[in-house]
């Protein structure tokens, strides 16, 4: 197929700007995904502008501060020295060469996909879209979102009658679109962000080429796939794989508890097999943005094809029920101490969705606190990353972090998030009763401990 002179000029000019790190990169959504990404580009001396509707984030970054635990103020200030800026003024998108969307994709109250952040952001981009720009969606979503939801809005609402480039050609009235799923793992200090391969699915070959160049400038490896939908499904597979296997060990944990077996001992022993086994670990429920959410995105989309994802739905059901198992375990443990949940003073240790991070998204701790409160418990919490819990999309707790100097005053201490800073021998020594959902007290001999 012949390549038009227009395509040669437009595509190659943008690619050259990317390769020479002269491209202006706009990142929409400055949370746990967008802000680290902005810092990677700034570190490679790209001119980066971050966009967010939360003015508090914009103000904090403008003042050289940080609101994410693992990102220091010094990193923000170094990025600002390279030209990084943050704004809530979306009109500045018109001057960007590449626009990367990193906004949340939660579930609504009916456990169905909530694309309002994607659609709202796309509506905000469209009036400022210009020919030759590259728009990349990173938000986790169901296969088809990029092409079926985002592209039509961009095409309908831009001011210049631009179309997304499809097929093998490109004109001066088109823009490029791709999907590249985020692969952030908060708290992971063993794998550098640049070493995480970047999956890329462009709407046409030129979009894939440009997106590969864009991400190849900060990641050591890019993995092109045939379409945005293939890239969207890749992300879902990664997290559903984890969801299903975690559900498996959660169910086996419940069985082992009835059989008087230690699931942690069993997993450790199975892990000695040098092939065909990868360990997953039980817990009080799933947290974070991806693993508790992604299965429902695919299950919802599958209905369009008259297909029921029974295996995935069962895994979701098991994991969703784990906080109720914790509630029952607390009730049973208190009962053996001749106490009821109603009126009991309970301290929940850890509210982040996993250890050593400052992320509350979908945390099972929040559900456990609410369940205990509904049963009449006087609940307090402690977490070194959260001095206060206010109102979120699915909770309104208005609680202040408790001190750890009066553990003996509580009828029960529930370890929900096993932060490394906790002194577990001291906790067991001073508490009246400890319900451990994370095996954090492994190796500590005490009849105060109840593993659940």
Distance CA 201, CA 100 (A): 14
Q: Which of 290, 401, 412, 452 does the annotation list as catalytic?
A: 290
Distance CA 451, CA 428 (A): 13
290 as an active site residue: the answer is yes
CB 348 within 8 A of CB 368: yes
Helix axis angle, 310-336 relative to 364-374, nearest 10°?
50
Helix axis angle, 34-43 relative to 73-81, nearest 10°?
50
Distance CA 105, CA 298 (A): 13
Across the strands, what pairs with 57?
none
Using DSSP, state whether 133 is helix, strand or coil. coil
For the record, the structure tokens of 38 come out as 């902005």
Dihedral sign, Cα of residue 314, residue 297, residue 295, residue 286 = negative
DSSP 73-105: HHHHHHHHHTT-EEES-GGGGGG-SEEEE----
Across the strands, what pairs with 200?
224
10 Å CB burial of residue 193 (0-12, 13-18, 19+) is: middle
Residues 6 or more apart whose CB falls under 8 angstroms from that of 58 comprise: 30, 50, 52, 86, 87, 88
Q: Are strands 24-28 and 345-349 parallel, antiparallel or unpaired?
A: unpaired
Phi and psi at residue 346, in whole multiples of 5°? -125, 130
- Locate all alpha helices (DSSP H) within 127-196, ordered by sequence: 145, 151-157
Across the strands, what pairs with 415?
349, 436
**Active site amino acids:** 290
């Amino acid at each position: 197929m012949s390549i038009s002179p227009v395509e040669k000029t437009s595509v190659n000019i943008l690619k050259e700007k990317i390769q020479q790190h002269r491209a202006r990169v706009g990142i929409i959504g400055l949370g746990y995904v967008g802000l680290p990404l902005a810092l990677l580009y700034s570190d490679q001396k790209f001119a980066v502008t971050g966009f967010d509707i939360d003015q508090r984030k914009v103000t904090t970054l403008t003042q050289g501060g940080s609101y994410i635990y693992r990102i220091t103020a010094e990193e923000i200030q170094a990025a600002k020295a390279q030209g990084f800026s943050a704004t809530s003024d979306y009109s500045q998108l018109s001057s960007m060469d590449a626009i990367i969307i990193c906004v949340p994709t939660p579930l609504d109250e009916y456990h169905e996909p909530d694309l309002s952040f994607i659609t709202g952001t796309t509506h905000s981009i469209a009036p400022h879209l210009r020919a030759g720009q590259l728009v990349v969606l990173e938000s986790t979503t169901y296969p088809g979102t990029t092409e079926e939801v985002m592209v039509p809005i961009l095409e309908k609402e831009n001011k210049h009658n631009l179309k997304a480039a499809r097929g093998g050609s490109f004109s001066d009235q088109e823009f490029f679109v791709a999907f590249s799923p985020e692969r952030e793992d908060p708290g992971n200090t063993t794998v550098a962000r640049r070493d995480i391969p970047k999956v890329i699915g462009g709407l046409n070959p030129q979009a894939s080429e440009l997106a590969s160049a864009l991400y190849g400038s900060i990641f050591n490896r890019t993995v092109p796939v045939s379409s945005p939908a293939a890239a969207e499904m890749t992300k879902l597979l990664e997290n559903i794989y984890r969801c299903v296997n975690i559900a498996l060990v959660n169910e086996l944990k419940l069985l082992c508890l009835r059989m008087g077996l230690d699931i942690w001992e069993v997993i450790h022993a199975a892990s000695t097999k040098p092939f065909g086994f990868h360990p997953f670990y039980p817990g009080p429920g799933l947290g974070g943005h991806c693993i508790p959410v992604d299965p429902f995105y695919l299950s919802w989309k599958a209905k369009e094809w008259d297909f029921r994802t029974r295996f995935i739905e069962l895994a979701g059901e098991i994991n969703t029920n784990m906080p109720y198992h914790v509630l029952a375990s607390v009730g049973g443990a208190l009962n053996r101490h001749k106490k009821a949940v109603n009126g009991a003073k309970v301290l929940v240790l850890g509210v982040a969705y996993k250890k050593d991070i400052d992320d509350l998204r979908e945390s099972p701790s929040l559900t456990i606190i609410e369940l205990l409160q509904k049963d009449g418990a006087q609940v307090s919490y402690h977490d070194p990353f959260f001095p206060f819990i206010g109102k979120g999309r699915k909770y309104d707790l208005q609680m202040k972090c408790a001190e750890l100097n009066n553990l003996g005053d509580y009828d029960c201490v529930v370890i929900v998030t096993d932060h490394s800073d906790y002194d577990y021998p001291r906790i067991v020594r001073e508490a009246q009763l400890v319900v451990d959902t994370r095996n954090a007290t492994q190796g500590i001999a005490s009849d105060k401990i109840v593993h659940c």
